[in-house]
Structure 1
Amino acid sequence: MRLFLALMPPPVLRRRLGELADRAHARLGGRRVPDDSLHLTLAFLGEVPQAQGEALARWLETREIPAGEWRLDAWGAFRRPGIVWVGSRAPDRALAELQAALWNELEQQGIAGRPSRFIPHVTLLRRVPRLERAKPSPPDLVWPYRRVALLRSFTDRDRARYQILARSPLA
C-alpha cells in the first residue's frame, strides 16, 4: 500500500483553499486538485507492506502531536512537474520540528526516505502548462492543526484519491 502522513485541513479552511485553487485554475489552467484531496504532506512513505501499514496505524493512534498554527501567505510553484501551491513566505519552525520528529520515529520503525528538504505546501494545481511569474495576490490563511493522519493513496483514471487509515489523538 502507498502511504503518507499528512495534516488535513478543517472544513472551513478546505473551502478557502478550494477557492484559491479555483482562482489559480482560472488563470493558469492545469488540473485542479479536488477539495477533498487538499492536504499538507509531512512524510511520504511510499509502498509499504500491509503488516507494516497496520503497525504504523497503531503507532499513529497513540502518537500525540503538539497543536499548532501554520500561516499560509505565499504562492509557489515546482516548475518541472508544473505544480502550483500555497505555503509560507518564511520557514515554519513548528512544522519543521513536527516533520523531523515524525521522521525520527519512522526511521526507528524501519521506514526510509526522509527528504533532504521540507517545503510545507498545499498543492492546488498539477500539470500547469505555463507557470506565470506574476502570481495572484498573496493568500492570508491560518491553518490550526491538532492531529496527523495516515493516508493510503490510490490512483484511478489518472487521479489520486486518499483513504484515511488512522489519526493521531487530538492534541
Structure 2
Amino acid sequence: MRLFIALEPPQALRGRLGELADAAHARCGGRRVPDASLHLTLAFLGEVAEERADELAQWVGAMAIPPGEWRLDSWGRFQRPGILWVGGRTPDPALMQLQASLWQGLEALGFAGRPRRFVPHVTLLRRAARLDMEGLPPVDLAWAYRRLALLRSFTENAGARYEALAHSA
C-alpha cells in the first residue's frame, strides 16, 4: 500500500485553502486538489507492505509531537509536473525540525527515501495548464498543528483519495 505521513489542516483552514485552490484553478486550469485531500506531506514512504504499515500505524499512534504554527504566505510552483502550491516565504524552523526528526525515526525503523531538500507546501493544483501566479489572491494563513497522520493513498480516475490509518497522540 502507498503511504505517507502528513499534517492535515483544521476544517476552517481547509476551507480557506479550498478557496485559494478555486481561484488558482480559475486562472491556471489543471486538476484542482479536492478540499478533503489538502495536506502537508512530511514523509512520503511509497509502497509499504501491510505488516510494515501496521508497525508504522502503531509508531505514529504512540508519537507525540510539539504543537506548532506554520505561516503560509506565498504561492509557489513546481514547473515540471505543473504543480501550483501555497507555502511559506521563509522556512519555519519548528516545521523543518519536525520533518527531520520524523525522518530520523523512520530511518531507525529501516525506511529510506529522505528527500535531499524539503519544501513545505500544500498542493492546490496538479497538471496546471499555466503556472502564472500573477493576479492570484494574497496568501496570509496560520496553520496550528498538533498531530500527524499516517495516510494511505488510493489512485482513482478522479485523482488520489486518502485514508487515515493512524494519528499521533
* Separation (CA, whole Å) in 1 of partners of 2:66 and 2:92: 14
Q: Which residue of 2 aligns with 1:27?
A: 27
Q: Percent identity?
A: 65
Three-state SS of the structure 2 residue aligned to 1:118 is: coil
Q: Which residue of 2 aligns with 1:76?
A: 76
Letter of the aligned partner of 1:104 in structure 2? Q
Do the aligned residues in 2 keep the contact of 1:72 with 1:88 (CA within 8 Å)? yes
Q: Which residue of 2 aligns with 1:162?
A: 162
Over 2 Å off, 4+ runs: none
Pairing 1:34-73 to 2, within 5 Å after superposition: 34-73=34-73
Do the aligned residues in 2 keep the contact of 1:15 with 1:35 (CA within 8 Å)? yes
Three-state SS of the structure 1 residue aligned to 2:144 is: strand
> Which runs of 5 or more residues in structure 1 are unaligned?
none
Three-state SS of the structure 2 residue aligned to 1:26 is: helix
* Separation (CA, whole Å) in 2 of partners of 1:92 and 1:120: 9
Three-state SS of the structure 1 residue aligned to 2:97 is: helix
- What's the C-alpha RMSD, in Å, of the aligned pairs? 0.9
Structure 1 position 110 matched with structure 2 position 110: yes
Three-state SS of the structure 2 residue aligned to 1:98 is: helix
> Which runs of 5 or more residues in structure 2 are unaligned?
none
TM-score computed with the length of structure 1 as normaliser = 0.97
Q: How far is the alpha carbon of 1:9 from its aligned partner?
A: 0.3
Pairing 1:141-160 to 2, within 5 Å after superposition: 141-160=141-160
Do the aligned residues in 2 keep the contact of 1:75 with 1:135 (CA within 8 Å)? no
